[in-house]
Structure formats: structure tokens, C-alpha cells
């Protein structure tokens, strides 16, 4: 056990986490140059394209240290986005230490701090690593300052590297051996293993990724999942190389996998404890929480014939994403579909993209919503996440919406602009901390609904990319919440309805009408777009009919060029939905929530 190190790399998005993981893997000879592919651990196309890690991954790196001993370094890669902070916390709970990666040009950002807190909560050894020191804009001295003043860590404890150029990799590996403590635990004690991830394998069913804290598990054991009490017989256990590496047993201190005939990943809960049915541990490992989706939207097939395909696609998708929940739903405008819950907007985006890409589905998502609570006059409580279920306003005594605590880090000179943005988003109870000269931490309490949609983009724009942001949901607060309906060509499109604060209703209605005017292609007739509250029109815009195309020459026999243009337009049309006699593009439903970034 003394030759094992369990660690993770944490960082703000784009600070080079996946690249550093690549280098560590390469350095320890896990993969030769020929088979090397960037972002080895990001093995979904989406992860590579977007440069973010969505699923956790684990890999054991064999390393012979300068002290002459051989070590097994277990790297647990974590998702890199606030939507997935619970998974990150469970992955960290499986480690004894972290590399806290900081971009030498950008310095400490909001997620750096949020991740640091997560690591501190888990009592981990923290090794600050300054990455990208090769950049011409690198300012290592300033970052060392920030490590001291903003993170409160020993500034002399830092390492410098350029993951891209492969500089400083050996020093990092040595530091992992020397500064991260080996795991402790008793291989003979009753089994206690923490589930930090679960993946679906179409041949083997669910593969549970776990960290064993106490005891030992081997094939043939009957395990019990503490949260739901389900028991399974273990088929196979093992550790991680570039793939799974079957072993006889895994014991206290080790990171590994378990295959035990679990049908879907939804049957296991990240953060849950695995123990032995016959000889259970005394109490489960701490920190377990149930997944709670915060953003809701309905998914409809663009062609109603595709409903069955969508149902199958969702079922398959769900096998591998325990955080995603759905149930049947239907809309007057869009027909049969599914109401779905997501961890955040990025999660929603990813689900949409994967359904389209991996299951070849053309889908429309209704305007996303958070979950609201309404107390009715008869004192009953209704919880709704779908504007279609907004109660009759006659009977509403009180409406409540979720609030978050938003933590923003920014250069002081943007303070005014950011405060203005937060106020516009109904932020309250602000707190301001000066972290170091010229840099501030701003804390606001804000309605989740206001931040979900375009807050992040606007923050980036008003701070020219220097502002960063992290949040957690704190509580529900009362608000005057009304239902804003959208009528296109006189027809109410229920999938475009949203619940808004009365104060903002008119402005939001205008915004939605203007947005839709831009998104909905002109048609052969005039299309009025209206925003209404309870039948009263509060906003409108009009799409003028098209009258004249630019019918350029089709000469010299070059028909191909023109055809390609039309093919492109036709493809765009496939992602539109006929509602009444108007075609509405997929993009319109999400665009309604976006404000102009000026």
C-alpha cells in the first residue's frame, strides 16, 4: 500500500488538465508515440471537440521513482465543468492528493478556487502546478503571488511545467510520490468502497469505478450497495491500464472496477458505498448525495414518426448517464415527447448533441426551465419544472424559485460592469472581497433561472474573458412569478412558454419576440409573434413575408454551386418543425432565453 498514490488533477476550464494527463501517461510509457492521440482520457468525440472532460476516467501509471522504488500512481480524471461538481467531489474523495493546475497566463480563476475548496473538504494534499510557462504571456511571478494571496497556499510549494512542451513532467511525478501520502486502510476489515463513476459496457453491463477504503473484494463476493440495499454477485474486479485490467482482487487503498451484473448505470449511485452483504461495514462513507437535476426541458422528435426511435435513443443514452432523468410528456404544439432533467445547461447541450450524433435523431428541445414551487390558496404545494403545468393564477398564494450563491472572480476594473449585470439578473446580498491588488471576489445571491441561460456568456463579454464564475444552489425564495406565453401566427406554442418574474415579463416578452423574429425564417406570408400573460398581449413583433430571392445567374452549366447552396438550406430545414403553418427552427427554442450581448 505504501507504493500507491491516488491523485487527481483539478483546474479551471482550459488550464490544460487533459494535456497534462496526456504527458503523464506518455512519460510513464503507458502508450508509445505511434499510438498516441491527444486527450487520451477524453475518449468521447464531444470531449475532444469541446476540450472538456465530461466523464471521469481512471488510469494507473507505473512509475519508478528516483528513490529506486516502483510506484502505482492512480490518476482519477474529473469532469471540468460546474454542472458536474458533485462527480468531481466524489472523484476527489477517492484520492489522497491533487495537482491544482493553474494557467500561467490566466492565473487563479473561479473554478480554481471552487476546486481547491473541494480538495480541502476532502483533506487532500495539494500540489499547485503552474502550467503553460512557455506562453509568451505567461506571468509566473504573478501566479505565485496569487497562490499565496488568493489560495492561501505555500507559494514555495509550487511546481512549474508546460504540459504542451513536456517541460517539468518528471518533477511532477516525483512530487506525487513524495508529497501525496500513501493510502491507509485495513485489507482485512469489512469492505467499504466508494463509487466515483459508473460506465455502461454493452457486453458486460455496468462497470462500477470505485476506490476501496477498507477491506478486499474479489469475484464471487456478494456485494451490497448501501443506498438502495441492492445485492449483486461480483463477476470480475480489476484495475485500470489504458483499458480494464482484470485482477484477482482489489483491496484497501486501491482504485479499480467491479462488474457485478448491474443492468444500468442508474442502478448505482455515484458517492454510494459498496460493502459485503455478509459482512457489512459499520457505516457508509461520508458525502453521499442524490443527483438533483436543476434544469428541465422537453425533447421532441422533429418528425413525429421518430418518436419510437427517440424513446429507444433515450433509453440507451440513459444507460450511461445516471444524472440524466426523463419521463413521457406531450405538447399541443410539438406532439409526443419526453420531459428531461439535467444538471445544468452544458449537460443539456451535451445530451442534445449526443442524441443527435450517436442515435442520429433530429430533435427539438423546449425552452429550459428550473423547478418552481407554488403554494396554492388551499395551502397545498405544487412543484413544477414545466411551464405547461403553471397553476391557475387565481389559486396561487405564493410562488418560489431556486436561488444560487454565485462566486465571481474578476479584475477590479470590471467590477462596475459585473455588478450592473448581476443587478440586472436580480442579484441580491452582494459581498465583495479584495483578494490581491487589482483582483476581487464578488459574491451574489441570484435566482437560478436568471443565471442559467446567458449569464456566463455575458460575464465573459463584459470582462473581456477575465471574469470567471462558479455557483451552488442554496434555497428557494419567494417571487412574483407569472407565465409568459408566446404566440406564433396567432397560435400558442406551449414549448416556448416560460415562467418569469413579473417585473421582467414585458422585457422578456419583447426579447423573445425579437429573438424569434431573427430565428424564424421568413415565409410566404406575414407572421405575427406575440408575448402574452394570461391572454393579455404584452409584446409583439412581425416577420415580413419574403418577396424576392436573389436568383443569381445559373450559367455556363455550373449548376453544382447553386445546388450545393440549396442542399445546405434544405439540411437546415430538416432541423425545423412545422407548427401550424409556420416552420420554427430548432435553434429558436433555446435562443428565446438569450439576451443580446452588448
Quick one: 246 or 522, whose CB is closer to another protein?
Answer: 522
Quick one: 2 or 526, whose CB is closer to another protein?
Answer: 526
How far is 218 from 258, CA to CA, in rounded Å?
A: 9
Site string for another protein, 54-93 (x = CB under 8 A): ----------------------------------------
Quick one: 29 or 580, whose CB is closer to another protein?
Answer: 580
- State the nearest-atom distance from the C-beta of 528 to another protein, in Å: 17
Helix/strand/coil percent split, the chain, to 5: 30, 35, 35
Site string for another protein, 28-57 (x = CB under 8 A): ------------------------------
Segment 490-529, which members bind another protein (CB under 8 A)? 524-525
User: Which residues, listed in sequence order, are joined to residue 261 by a DSSP beta bridge?
Assistant: none
Site string for another protein, 541-570 (x = CB under 8 A): -----xxxxxxxxxxxxxxx-xx--xx-xx
- State the nearest-atom distance from the C-beta of 548 to another protein, in Å: 4
Residues whose CB falls within 8 Å of the CB of residue 365, separated by 6 or more in sequence, listed in order: 297, 298, 299, 300, 348, 352, 586, 589, 590
How far is 327 from 338, CA to CA, in rounded Å?
A: 5
Helix (H, G, I), strand (E, B) or coil at 415: helix
Helix (H, G, I), strand (E, B) or coil at 2: coil
Instruction: Tell me the torsion sign for CA atoms 503, 418, 517, 389.
Output: negative
- State the nearest-atom distance from the C-beta of 567 to another protein, in Å: 7
What string of DSSP letters covers 131-166? E-TTSTT--HHHHHHHHHHTT---GGG-EE-BTTTT
Quick one: 263 or 570, whose CB is closer to another protein?
Answer: 570
- State the nearest-atom distance from the C-beta of 533 to another protein, in Å: 32
- State the nearest-atom distance from the C-beta of 559 to another protein, in Å: 6
Site string for another protein, 579-598 (x = CB under 8 A): --x-----------------
Burial 17-46 (b: 16+ CB within 10 A, else e): bbbbbbbbbbebebeeeeeeeebbbbebee
Quick one: 174 or 491, whose CB is closer to another protein?
Answer: 491
User: Strand 192-201 and strand 273-276: pairing?
Assistant: antiparallel
How far is 593 from 387, CA to CA, in rounded Å?
A: 14
> How far from 425 is each of 48, 140, 449, 458, CA to CA, in Å?
33, 35, 9, 11
Quick one: 228 or 581, whose CB is closer to another protein?
Answer: 581
Listed ranges 196-204, 248-256, 509-517, 540-548: which one lies at the site for another protein (CB under 8 A): 540-548
Quick one: 303 or 325, whose CB is closer to another protein?
Answer: 303
The footprint of another protein on this chain (CB under 8 A) covers a number of residues equal to: 25
User: Which residues, listed in sequence order, are joined to residue 400 by a DSSP beta bridge?
Assistant: 373, 478
Considering only 431, 573, 580, 597, the residue that binds another protein (CB under 8 A) is 573
From 275, 273, 260, select the one nearest 191 (Cα to Cα): 275
Quick one: 181 or 580, whose CB is closer to another protein?
Answer: 580
Interface residues toward another protein, by CB under 8 A? 524-525, 546-560, 562-563, 566-567, 569-570, 573, 581
Amino acid at each position: 500500500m505504501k507504493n500507491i498514490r491516488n491523485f487527481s488533477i483539478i483546474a479551471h476550464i482550459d488550464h490544460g488538465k487533459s494535456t497534462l494527463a496526456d504527458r503523464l501517461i506518455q512519460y510513464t510509457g503507458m502508450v508509445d508515440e505511434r499510438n498516441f492521440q491527444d486527450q487520451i482520457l477524453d475518449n468521447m468525440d464531444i470531449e475532444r471537440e469541446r476540450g472538456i472532460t465530461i466523464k471521469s476516467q481512471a488510469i494507473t501509471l507505473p512509475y519508478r521513482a528516483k528513490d529506486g522504488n516502483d510506484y502505482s500512481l492512480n490518476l482519477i480524471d474529473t469532469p471540468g465543468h460546474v454542472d458536474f461538481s458533485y462527480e468531481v467531489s466524489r472523484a476527489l474523495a477517492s484520492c489522497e492528493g491533487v495537482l491544482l493546475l493553474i494557467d500561467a497566463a490566466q492565473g487563479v480563476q473561479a473554478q480554481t478556487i471552487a476546486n481547491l475548496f473541494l480538495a480541502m473538504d476532502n483533506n487532500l494534499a495539494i500540489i499547485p502546478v503552474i502550467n503553460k510557462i512557455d506562453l509568451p504571456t505567461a506571468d509566473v511571478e504573478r501566479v505565485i503571488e496569487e497562490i499565496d494571496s488568493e489560495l492561501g497556499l505555500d507559494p514555495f510549494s509550487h511546481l512549474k511545467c508546460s504540459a504542451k512542451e513536456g517541460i517539468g513532467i518528471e518533477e511532477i511525478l516525483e512530487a506525487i510520490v513524495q508529497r501525496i501520502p500513501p493510502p491507509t486502510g485495513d485489507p482485512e476489515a469489512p469492505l467499504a468502497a466508494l463509487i466515483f463513476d459508473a460506465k455502461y459496457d454493452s457486453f458486460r453491463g455496468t462497470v462500477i469505478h470505485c476506490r476501496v477504503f477498507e477491506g478486499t473484494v474479489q469475484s464471487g463476493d456478494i456485494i451490497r450497495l448501501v443506498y438502495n440495499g441492492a445485492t449483486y454477485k461480483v463477476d470480475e474486479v480489476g484495475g485500470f491500464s489504458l483499458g480494464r485490467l482484470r485482477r484477482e482482487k482489489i483491496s484497501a487503498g486501491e482504485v479499480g472496477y467491479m462488474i457485478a451484473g448491474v443492468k444500468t448505470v442508474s442502478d448505482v449511485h455515484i458517492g454510494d458505498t459498496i460493502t459485503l452483504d455478509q459482512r457489512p461495514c459499520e457505516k457508509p462513507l461520508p458525502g453521499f448525495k442524490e443527483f438533483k437535476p436543476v434544469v428541465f426541458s422537453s425533447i421532441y422528435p422533429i418528425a413525429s414518426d421518430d418518436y419510437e426511435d427517440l424513446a429507444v435513443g433515450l433509453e440507451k443514452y440513459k444507460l450511461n448517464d445516471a444524472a440524466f432523468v426523463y419521463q413521457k410528456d406531450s405538447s399541443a404544439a410539438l406532439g409526443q415527447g419526453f420531459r428531461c432533467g439535467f444538471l445544468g445547461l452544458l449537460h443539456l447541450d451535451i445530451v442534445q448533441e449526443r442524441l443527435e450524433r450517436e442515435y442520429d435523431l433530429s430533435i427539438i428541445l423546449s425552452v429550459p426551465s428550473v423547478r418552481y414551487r407554488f403554494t396554492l390558496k388551499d395551502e397545498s404545494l405544487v412543484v413544477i419544472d414545466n411551464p405547461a403545468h403553471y397553476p391557475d393564477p387565481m389559486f396561487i398564494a405564493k410562488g418560489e424559485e431556486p436561488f444560487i450563491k454565485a462566486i465571481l472572480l474578476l479584475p477590479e476594473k470590471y467590477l462596475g460592469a459585473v455588478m450592473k449585470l448581476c443587478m440586472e439578473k436580480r442579484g441580491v446580498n452582494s459581498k465583495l472581497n479584495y483578494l490581491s491588488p487589482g483582483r476581487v471576489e464578488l459574491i451574489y445571491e441570484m435566482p437560478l433561472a436568471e443565471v442559467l441561460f446567458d449569464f456566463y456568456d455575458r460575464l465573459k463579454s463584459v470582462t473581456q474573458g477575465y471574469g470567471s464564475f462558479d455557483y451552488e444552489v442554496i434555497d428557494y425564495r419567494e417571487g412574483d412569478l407569472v407565465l409568459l406565453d408566446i404566440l406564433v401566427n396567432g397560435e400558442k406554442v406551449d414549448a416556448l412558454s416560460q415562467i418569469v418574474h413579473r417585473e421582467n415579463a414585458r422585457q422578456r416578452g419583447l426579447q423573445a419576440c425579437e429573438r424569434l423574429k431573427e430565428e424564424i425564417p421568413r415565409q410566404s406570408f406575414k407572421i405575427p409573434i406575440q408575448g402574452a400573460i394570461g391572454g393579455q398581449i404584452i409584446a409583439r413583433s412581425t416577420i415580413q413575408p419574403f418577396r424576392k430571392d436573389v436568383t443569381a445567374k445559373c450559367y455556363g452549366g455550373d449548376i453544382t454551386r447553386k445546388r450545393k447552396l440549396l442542399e445546405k438550406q434544405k439540411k437546415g430545414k430538416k432541423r425545423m418543425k412545422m407548427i401550424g403553418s409556420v416552420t420554427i427552427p430548432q435553434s429558436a427554442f433555446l435562443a428565446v432565453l438569450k439576451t443580446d450581448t452588448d
